[in-house]
């Protein structure tokens, strides 16, 4: 349906003033809201099932809490607490820098499976039903990291015009990134999404996300 190429979404094509982005916060369409709530309610069933299985498995394979909570930057750059299934062993809070690579040595076998299958993101259905996230939109970054990106990455603030998403165009077409160059690529993809945002594009990204999950292309 969509002929999308990486060359189509260079950051330079969509210069958006950091100073005026708050006045450009976009309202959610009725179709998007209904889609989020309807699918979110349906996904509560697998969420409960996976949580039940992890309660049984975690003591053996990943001792500690089932859920992980992290403050992230949401719409209009406002903080909110995002939920995930915990995949990593405990570390010093905020030990990872904004441009550092993922600490893969802290991910166990069970956590790796959750990440590859994207099941670790399933608890964010709760954030969707609370009105803090959408199913599709720019992925929210850790709040402390996002504050760094606001200062260092041109156009980063613009991605907060819309509700952050569990999945997004950057996740299906760019994939996992780290480092300064990777963040630039992610922001460029998010700008493409902002420029072409529509319910049809959301459905297309949903379909692409299902493909990524089924082929276990997650990070």
Q: Is residue 70 part of a domain?
A: yes
Q: Is the dihedral of CA 41, 46, 50, 55 positive or negative?
A: positive
Averaged pLDDT for residues 48-71: 95
Residue 11 lies in a domain: no
Residue 23 pLDDT > 90: no
Q: Give tens-digit pLDDT for 109-165.
A: 899 999 888 899 999 999 999 999 999 999 999 999 999 999 889 899 999 999 999
Task: Tell me the backbone φ, ψ of residue 71, rounded to 5 degrees.
Answer: -75, 125
DSSP 65: -
Q: Which residues pair with 85 in a beta bridge?
A: 67
Q: Is residue 182 part of a domain?
A: yes
- Residue 165 confidence (pLDDT): 97
Measured between its terminal Cα atoms, the distance across the chain in Å is 26
Q: 71 pairs with which residues across the strands?
A: 81
Helix 109-117, helix 30-61: angle, nearest 10: 160
DSSP E strand stretches across the chain: 67-73, 79-85, 134-136, 165-167
pLDDT tens-digit readout, 178-208: 788 889 999 999 999 999 999 999 999 999 9
Task: Give tens-digit pLDDT for 132-147.
Answer: 999 999 999 999 999 9
What value, to the nearest 5°, has the Cα angle with vertex 134 and ends 36 and 79? 145
Q: Do the beta carbons of residue 42 and residue 49 sit within 8 Å?
A: no
pLDDT tier, 102 (very low <50, low <70, confident <90, very high otherwise) = low
Domains of the chain: total: 1
As a whole number of Å, the CA-based R_g of the chain is 17
- Closest Cα partner for 86 from 111, 113, 49? 111
Q: Is residue 5 part of a domain?
A: no
Give this prediction's pTM: 0.82
Token pair in block for residue 144: 């402390």
Residues 6+ apart with CB under 8 A from 110: 54, 57, 58, 61, 62, 87
Q: Is residue 8 part of a domain?
A: no
- CB 60: neighbour CB atoms within 10 A? 8
Domain assignment of residue 167, yes or no: yes
pLDDT of residue 105: 65
Query: Domain range spanning residue 200?
Result: 29-88+96-214
Assess if residue 121 is contained within a domain. Answer: yes
The pLDDT mean for the chain works out to 84
In a domain, 15, yes or no: no
Residue that has been written with the tokens 């179709």 in this structure: 31
DSSP state of 88: B
Instruction: Answer yes or no: is pLDDT of 51 > 50.
Output: yes
Token pair belonging to 217: 């292309």
């Amino acid at each position: 349906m969509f002929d999308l190429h990486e060359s189509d979404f260079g950051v330079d094509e969509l210069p958006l003033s950091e100073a005026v982005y708050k006045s450009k916060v976009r309202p959610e369409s009725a179709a998007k809201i209904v889609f989020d709530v309807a699918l979110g309610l349906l996904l509560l069933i697998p969420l409960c099932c996976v949580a039940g299985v992890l309660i049984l498995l975690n003591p053996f394979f990943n001792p500690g809490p089932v859920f992980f909570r992290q403050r992230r930057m949401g719409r209009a750059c406002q903080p909110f607490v995002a939920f995930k299934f915990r995949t990593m062993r405990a570390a010093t809070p905020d030990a990872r820098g904004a441009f550092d690579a993922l600490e893969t040595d802290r991910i166990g076998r069970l956590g790796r499976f959750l990440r590859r299958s994207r099941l670790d993101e399933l608890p964010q259905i709760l954030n969707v039903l609370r009105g803090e996230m959408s199913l599709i939109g720019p992925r929210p970054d850790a709040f402390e990291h996002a504050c760094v990106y606001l200062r260092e990455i041109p156009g980063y603030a613009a991605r907060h015009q819309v509700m952050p998403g569990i999945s997004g165009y950057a996740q299906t077409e760019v994939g996992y990134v780290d480092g300064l160059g990777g963040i630039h690529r992610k922001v460029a993809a998010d700008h493409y999404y902002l420029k072409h945002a529509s319910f049809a594009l959301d459905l297309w990204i949903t379909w692409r996300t299902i493909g990524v999950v089924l082929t276990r292309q997650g990070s």
